[in-house]
């Protein structure tokens, strides 16, 4: 099993999500939870497509951290 960081952002009327480690793999949803679910499905499809095209699956290089200021 692989793990990929996803970023979920509030847009004007919905939420959008992407993974810094999987360029071009994006998803949206009406709620944060829906965007997360859709992103999970998008990553599965993205990885499956890469495997079918015999492309290497990238290792996750990204991480996130909150800082207090």
Domain total of the chain: 1
Q: List, as own/partner pairs, every contact residues 34-39 make where C-beta atoms lie below 8 angstroms and the sequence separation is at least 24, other chains included.
A: 35/8, 36/6, 36/8, 39/6, 39/8
Domain residue limits at 35: 7-52
Q: How many other C-beta atoms can be found within 10 angstroms of the C-beta atom of residue 6?
A: 22
Low-confidence spans in the chain with pLDDT less than 50 = none
Q: What is the pLDDT of residue 53?
A: 97
DSSP bridge partners of 15: 10, 29
Q: Is residue 28 part of a domain?
A: yes
Q: Is residue 58 part of a domain?
A: no
Q: What is the pLDDT of residue 1?
A: 81
Q: Is residue 37 part of a domain?
A: yes
Q: Is residue 59 part of a domain?
A: no
pTM: 0.89
């Amino acid at each position: 099993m692989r793990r990929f960081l996803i970023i979920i952002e509030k847009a004007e009327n919905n939420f959008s999500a992407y993974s810094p480690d999987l360029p071009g793999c994006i998803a949206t949803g009406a709620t944060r939870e829906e965007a997360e679910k859709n992103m999970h499905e998008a990553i599965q499809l993205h990885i499956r497509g890469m495997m079918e095209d015999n492309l290497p699956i990238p290792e996750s290089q990204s991480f996130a951290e909150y800082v207090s200021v």
